[in-house]
Amino acid sequence: MTAATRTRLTPEQRREQLLELGLELFAGHTIEDISIDRLSEEAGVSRGLLYHYFGSKQGFHEAVIQRAADDLVAVTAPPEDDDPIVRLLASLAAYVDYVIANHAGYRSLVRAAAGGNEEVRGIYERARGQMIDRTFETPGVEVFIEDTPITRLVVGGWVAFVEDAVLAWCEDANGVSREELVRLVTQALPAIVETLD
C-alpha cells in the first residue's frame, strides 16, 4: 500500500488528490512529460489507481491540462474594484506569478496550442477566450473597453504580447524586476486602446 491509498478518502477526494499531484508535474515538466507512468514513478501512486480514476493515459493527461487551465483562469480573476487599471494590475500580477510557478508546463502548453496540437489547443483557446471576454465585461463596474471588432483584435494581440513578454522574462529577466514587468504588461493595454481614438 502506498501513502496515497492509506488515507480514507471519498472517490472524489482521491481523484482530486491525484489531480493535484498531476499539477505538480505540470509545474516542472513539459506537457509531453505528464503521464500516468511519470506520476506513478514520481509520486509512488499505482498505475492501476490512475487508470481507475482517469480511464486512460489520455484521460489523465487531458484532466491535468484542463485543471491547469482552469486554475490559470481562476487565479487571474480580477478583484472587485471600480478602477479597471486596479483590476488589470491585480490580474496580471497573478498571471506573472502563475507563469513563474508553472514555467515549464505553461510554456509547453502555449507552444503546443500554437503548434496545432488539437487536444491542447481546444483547452487553451477556451481559457484564453474566457480571459479575453472578462476584459470586456466586468459586471457592475464601468465599461473599460468597448467591445468592437477592432478592440477584439487589440485584446487578442495584447494577450499574445503578454504571453511573449512574460515567457521571455522568465527565461532571462536581464535585470528587469517582476514589478516593472507587471506594470509594463498592464499599461500596454490601455496605451494601445488609446491609439484608436
The whole-angstrom separation of Cα 83 and Cα 104 is 33
Q: Is 96 in the site for a second copy (CB under 8 A)?
A: no
Contact pattern from residue 132 through residue 151 relative to a second copy, giving x for each residue in contact according to CB under 8 A and a dash for the rest: -----------------xx-
- Give the 3-state secondary structure of residue 62: helix
* Pick from 41, 34, 60: nearest CA to 2: 41
Considering only residues 26-85, where is the footprint of a second copy by CB under 8 A? none
- The CA-based angle 127-29-19, given to 5 degrees, is 60
Distances (CA, A) of 97 to 54, 93, 122, 166: 29, 6, 24, 10
Q: Which is nearer to a second copy, 50 or 88 (CB)?
A: 88
Question: Of 102-131, which residues contact a second copy (CB under 8 A)?
Answer: 110-112, 114-117
Q: How far is the CB of 164 from a second copy (least distance, A)?
A: 4
Q: Which residue's CB is nearer to a second copy, number 41 or number 179?
A: 179
Least distance CB 175 / a second copy (angstroms):
5
- Could you tell me how many residues make up the chain? 197
3-state DSSP assignment of residue 139: coil
> What residues line the site for a second copy (CB under 8 A)?
110-112, 114-117, 149-150, 152-154, 156-165, 168-169, 173-176, 180-181, 183-185, 187-188, 191-192, 194-196
